[in-house]
Each structure stands twice: as structure tokens, then as C-alpha cells.
Amino acid sequence: MFDLSAGGCAVTSMTMVHTGSAVRILIRATDLGSPITIESAAVRWSKHGEFGVEFLGLSEVDHNRLHRLLQAKTSYPIRPS
């Protein structure tokens, strides 16, 4: 995962994913005890082993956790693994 924002992210994948597909995403970070769960997301673009996702549905708790992660990201950039 890379280019993480409040509205979505980009993902590197060896599996072909089609534009318009619905996906569920778990974001695991060292500082978090449990993953942030994006219950509803849509693939907006897909090319060359990468795809972009728009977050559509997450709980208020996970929304707040995502914002805390993004604030921490400004100090410690998240790099693709």
C-alpha cells in the first residue's frame, strides 16, 4: 500500500483487480494494536500490478484511527513494503 490518504490509497498486487470492483481493506501499522478496517472501498483504476482504491465506508472509530495514522505519517513516512 502507498499514497495513503483519508479518501483512499494505491495498492501493489500480483492479482489482477478490475476497475469498479468492490474490496475490503485492512491497514496494519506498527503503532496500531489492531488493523484499521475499510469495510467498503471501490477500485477506481488498475494498471501494471497496481490499483487505486476510494474508501467508501468505515466505522467512526476506524475513521478516527485512520486520521491519527495520517497525522503520524507526516513525521514518519509510510513506505511500500
Please list the pLDDT of the chain residue by residue as tens digits (81 residues): 999 999 999 999 999 899 999 999 999 987 778 899 999 999 999 999 999 999 999 999 999 999 988 988 665 455 554
Going from the C-alpha of 72 to that of each of 2, 35, 44, 51, 60, the distances in angstroms are: 15, 16, 26, 24, 19
Residue 13 covered by a domain: yes
Strands 8-12 and 50-57: antiparallel
Is 52 domain-assigned? yes
In the DSSP assignment, the letter for residue 43 is E
Question: What is the extent of the structural domain holding 15?
Answer: 8-73
Q: What is the pTM of this model?
A: 0.81
For the chain, the domain total comes to 1
Q: Does residue 59 lie within any of the structural domains? A: yes
Q: What is residue 60's predicted lDDT score, i.e. its pLDDT?
A: 95
Give a yes or no: residue 37 inside a domain. Answer: yes
Query: Does residue 19 belong to any structural domain of this protein?
Result: yes
What pLDDT is attached to residue 33? 82
Please check whether residue 3 lies inside any domain of the structure.
Answer: no
Q: What is the largest CA-CA distance in the chain?
A: 34
The pLDDT score that the predictor gives to residue 30 is 75
